[in-house]
Amino acid sequence: MIIPVILLLTSILLYIYVYIFKPLCYWKELGVDQDDPWELLKSVLLTFYSVIWKREDPLVSVRSRYSKFPGKRYYGIYELTSPGLMLRDPDLVSQMLVTDYVHFNDHRVLIHDDLDPLFTKCIFALKGEEWQKIRKTVTPSSTSSKIKTQVDTLSEYSQKFAEHHLRPDGEIVEIEMRDVTTRFCNDVSAKLSFGISIDSFAEPDNEFWRMCHRAVDTISMRKVLSFTVYLIAPKLVKFLKMKIVDNEADSFFRQVISETMKIREEERQNGVNGSDLIHLLLEGRNRAKLNHGKVAKGSYKSYNADWSNIEIIAQAFFFHFASCAPAPTLLSFMAYEIAVNPDVQDKLRREVYDIHDTCGGKLTYACTNQMEYMDMVVHETMRKWPSVIEVDRICSKDYTIEPVLPGEKPVHVKRGSRIIAPIYSLQHDPKYYPDPEKFDPERWNEQNKRNIKPNTFTPFGFGSRTCMGGKFSVLQAKILYYHVLLRFEIVPVEATKVPLEVAKIPRLNAAGGLWLGLKPLADF
């Protein structure tokens, strides 16, 4: 009897060593600094608990992790037992993710291809040549000339937003900023991406909004569990059919985008040129058909592909998702900082009034570029409250980090290894931003911004994978708050938490909601 027990215990210990303990020594064996493996094992269990049961706000672990190994350019971390290399030095980040981007040009995607093609076939998840094809085609949608044409739509929806919250008796309207800014982004994106007019304020329970809300929800227990199970047992995700976008939202967006595609094709055949994202994608596919076999490999047009309908649908869906998930972080936290910093708000409103007079009440692209202080406020909000806390890349070609500091040795990064750049931590490092928790737009005035170290402010990512919607997000914030500040004073209310408490969810948000008041201005 004792021999089987000994064999069983030996087998268990051997399993723990081979599949749990030894993987936690990966970086140590390569001579890279990391935590003690036993501490890591305890941390794995605590991290799993805190993520699943939402017991810790996401910034606690981020700050703790970045504070380790001061003076080191990089160090090893683990996600459960999966190794990753944290880049702590902005110069090294620039070298690897910008200069040598061909080695690190792919994202890690924790979604199963068969279950969620709306995500796995979109530009964010695509790799290599497939990513290049899509990028080349959708790039015109984010150029300055294209963005100029969107000012009128942004201004129209921003004005609707402001007028919806006006009360004739001068009553302060209390609103939860994450909710109202997500509704705003949903309506704007529906118009610019699909040509569909939605008013999620006049019709708060409209189907488009409800499906958008379900699609962009990445913090529910079910979805967090799906991501976690994928890390532990990817095959189990497929077996259990744990989708990120539920079936109803998936079917809804497929139908809406398919119908829009059909309309755009009919318009094209009648000589009408559309201006939205779907038009660009269909134009790319049609160009590929016309040039099939006639274009030299490597030319610009060779990047246009004969995509299937689902691939076009995936791009349109992702751009809508990206418009309604990260963007409200900027818009809601910007409102909070304006409300709790009245001196900033006063200066901002003076500039808004000046611009309003200059442009004769008709906001233009040129006028938005004259709102210098507004631009400073937007940038400081993105520094203090970035929509993306960290960004990762997967090594697609073996790479060697050459030694620079005393005691360093060459580190060979193997294909498939994960690299992490700490956006939030770099933007809160007092070495680069003195008194980083202070909201100080003057960091971004013409004189001071020259002293900001490159690659310590990267709210839209790095290198060729930089978010294409960055310029649009800044413009959207400037236009929205131009119209809001013309009509309102943004004020704290009883439900406003000062200082702000971060929610214990895997996304940057305020605990209990970000509640503020819009107090109508008597002189407008």
Q: Would you say residue 49 lies in a domain?
A: no
Residue type, 106: D
Encode pLDDT of 261-292 as tens digits: 988 888 888 877 766 778 878 877 776 666 55
Q: Would you say residue 20 lies in a domain?
A: no
- Here the tokens at position 230 are 């994928």
Encode pLDDT of 46-65 as tens digits: 655 555 555 666 788 888 88
Q: Would you say residue 219 lies in a domain?
A: yes
Amino acid 295: pLDDT: 43
Per the structure, the count of domains in the chain is 1
Whether the Cβ atoms of residue 108 and residue 85 lie closer than 8 Å to each other? no
- Name the pLDDT band for 82 (thresholds 50, 70, 90): confident
3-state secondary structure 237-266: HHHHCCCCCCHHHHHHHHHHHHHHHHHHHH
Q: Which residues make up each annotated binding site for heme?
A: 467
Q: Which residue has the higher pLDDT, 432 or 273?
A: 432
| Range 21-29 average pLDDT | 85
Q: Would you say residue 37 lies in a domain?
A: no
Encode pLDDT of 197-225 as tens digits: 999 999 998 988 888 888 766 656 666 66
Q: Which of these, 301, 203, 317, lies nearest to 251 by C-alpha position?
A: 317
| Range 405-433 average pLDDT | 94
Whether the Cβ atoms of residue 146 and residue 493 lie closer than 8 Å to each other? no
Q: Would you say residue 61 lies in a domain?
A: no
Sign of CA dihedral 222, 228, 229, 234: positive
Helix-, strand-, coil-residue percentages of the chain, each rounded to 5: 55, 10, 35
Amino acid 372: pLDDT: 97
Amino acid 303: pLDDT: 44
Q: How many Å apart are CA 53 and CA 140, to the nearest integer?
A: 43
Q: Would you say residue 356 lies in a domain?
A: yes
Cβ-based neighbour number of residue 275 at 10 Å: 12
Q: Would you say residue 382 lies in a domain?
A: yes
Q: Which of these, 297, 257, 19, lies nearest to 118 by C-alpha position?
A: 257
Q: Which residues make up each annotated binding site?
A: 467
Please, what is the average pLDDT of the chain? Answer: 85
Q: Which domain holds residue 267?
A: 117-394+418-520
Encode pLDDT of 333-386 as tens digits: 999 999 999 999 999 999 999 999 999 989 999 999 999 999 999 999 999 999
Q: How many Å apart are CA 412 and CA 32, to the nearest integer?
A: 10
Q: For residue 151, count CB atoms less than 10 angstroms from its CB and return exposed for 0-12, middle for 13-18, buried for 19 or more.
A: middle
Amino acid 144: pLDDT: 80
**Is the confidence at residue 234, as pLDDT, over 70?**
no
Q: How many Å apart are CA 142 and CA 134, to the nearest integer?
A: 13
For residue 417, the Cα-to-chain-centroid distance in whole angstroms is 22
Whether the Cβ atoms of residue 269 and residue 287 lie closer than 8 Å to each other? no
| Range 220-249 average pLDDT | 69
CATH code at position 368: 1.10.630.10
- Name the pLDDT band for 130 (thresholds 50, 70, 90): confident
What residues contact residue 239 under an 8 Å CB cut-off, 6+ apart?
none
Amino acid 123: pLDDT: 82
**Is the confidence at residue 4, as pLDDT, over 60?**
yes
Q: Would you say residue 153 lies in a domain?
A: yes
Q: Which of these, 20, 37, 40, lies nearest to 29 by C-alpha position?
A: 37
